[in-house]
Amino acid sequence: MKSISHLTILGSTGSIGTSTLDVVARHPGRYRIVALTAQCQDNILFEQCLRFAPRYAVLLDEGAAMRLAQRVAVAGLDVEVLWGAAALERVASLPQVDTVMAAIVGAAGLRPTLAAARAGKKILLANKEALVMAGRVFMDLVQKHGATLLPIDSEHNAIFQALPHDYSRHHTDSLTASGVSKILLTASGGPFLNTTLSELKHVTPEQACAHPNWIMGRKISVDSATMINKGLEVIEAHWLFNAPADAIQVVVHPQSIIHSLVQYVDGSVLAQLGNPDMRIPIAYALAYPERIETGVEPLDLLKIATLDFVASDFMRFPGLALAYQALRAGGTAPTVLNAANEVAVVAFLNKQIPFLAIPRLIEDVLADLPVTTVNTLEDVLSADAGARVVANELLIKSTICFS
């Protein structure tokens, strides 16, 4: 009989978190939820506690945790409610947990995800920002502690599926060693694929968050609209597959049916296709190397009929070029790019800056800060903090310009 997998879901109330619980609920004998976490959404977390009976429920926010603890007590649930950043790390590294879904959004997910790596867990990585900001440190910890890293991002999950089973990222030239010539990373192009540069000046957060193919959290929705998401994914692919920037090509594919492709030296190209539903990559990683039911509608190619491909437009979406530039610069550059983007996205969502100011702010922050080497987590955290200070300073100046 198969042993039961014990899970911690970091960010269980979000888009990826709830999709993960949806898959888990379809396989009650296979998975057991040990811990669920969120920032401050105690109402959703309470509903999840009722349904999944975790041992721990963690909120970052103390007030939200107090409210949850009270409701848990009234309902007579055997759930221990914890709060704060240290508790997130604790539940990511519990001895009884074998698998951690890392689905917190942004840099806030770094420490708990690294805690899971240090504890040698199987990490299902949705939180791409953690890998972008701390690539080398993260990958070194995974290797040192024998953790397993499985990509949840649909593109990277597709690439993982299309690479040879014995693919190793530990060669000096991993792609060549496996006969791979190129990784083709598909992009939907987001909600503004056909929006002109002059129209982009006036787009609103609501328009930016209305993605044509995927239902996602607000931060990644804005990242998709600027295409910085694809830039973060290029950096993510670099670390996951030990692929140089030149071997990662972005291809805009508006239908989001082909989730990415691997091109081999013999001319073969292997792709993974499916309806755009994150339960597919989540289930693949949860059950790897097995396949399980997800509830996703089967792909009907005749209904899709057409698959289009176009080149990405670096003029309208300069964020993608900035990410390639940061990857090539190495060291702290991707950390700075990620931090500046997080500050810019919050400012855009709060209607402090216009859409096109997002890549401009990132560019200015990158230009302001020298690239330094990354050897330790402290190097990452200080580059992240430094970039946020500069980004906020520039933001104050630019907000005055834009108001």
Segment contacting Mg ion (CB under 5 A): 147-155, 171-179, 188-196, 317-325?
Answer: 147-155
Tell me how far, at minimum, the Cβ of 265 lies from ligand NAD, in Å: 29
Q: How far apart are CA 259 and CA 153, in angstroms?
A: 9
**Interface positions, 152-181, toward Mg ion (CB under 5 A):** 153-155
Give strand ranges (E) for 4-156: 5-10, 31-38, 56-59, 80-83, 99-102, 122-125, 148-151
Q: How far apart are CA 87 and CA 81, in angstroms?
A: 10
- Check the annotation: does 62 bind a ligand: no
User: Of 134, 87, 132, 136, which Cα lies nearest the Cα of 112?
Assistant: 87
Tell me if 98 contacts Mg ion by CB under 5 A: no
Tell me how far, at minimum, the Cβ of 177 lies from ligand NAD, in Å: 28
- Check the annotation: does 154 bind a ligand: yes
Helices (H), 77-127: 85-92, 110-118
DSSP 326-359: HHHH-TTHHHHHHHHHHHHHHHHHTTSS-TTHHH
Tell me how far, at minimum, the Cβ of 400 lies from ligand NAD, in Å: 28
**Residue 277 main-chain phi, psi, to 5 deg:** -150, 120
Q: How far apart are CA 317 and CA 320, in angstroms?
A: 6
**Residue 60 main-chain phi, psi, to 5 deg:** -70, -40
Choice from 105, 149, 247, 344 touching ligand NAD (CB under 6 A) = 105
Tell me if 17 contacts ligand NAD by CB under 6 A: yes
Tell me if 223 contacts Mg ion by CB under 5 A: no
Q: Which residues is 258 bridged to in the sheet? A: 273
Would you state the structure tokens that stand for residue 287, as one six-digit string? 């059950």
Segment contacting Mg ion (CB under 5 A): 146-154, 202-210, 305-313, 328-336?
Answer: 146-154
Q: Which CB, 180 or 278, lies closer to ligand NAD? A: 278
Choice from 84, 205, 212, 217 touching ligand NAD (CB under 6 A) = 217
Cα 165 to its chain centre, rounded Å, is: 23
Which of Mg ion, ligand NAD, none sits in contact with 217, Cβ below 5 to 8 A by type? ligand NAD
Segment contacting ligand NAD (CB under 6 A): 124-132, 189-197, 375-383, 391-399?
Answer: 124-132
Show binding-site residues for 1-deoxy-D-xylulose 5-phosphate.
128, 154-155, 188, 211, 224, 229-230, 233
Q: What is the binding site for Mg ion (CB under 5 A)?
A: 153-155
Q: What is the binding site for ligand NAD (CB under 6 A)?
A: 11-17, 38-39, 41, 60, 103-105, 108, 126-129, 153, 214, 216-217, 219-220, 278
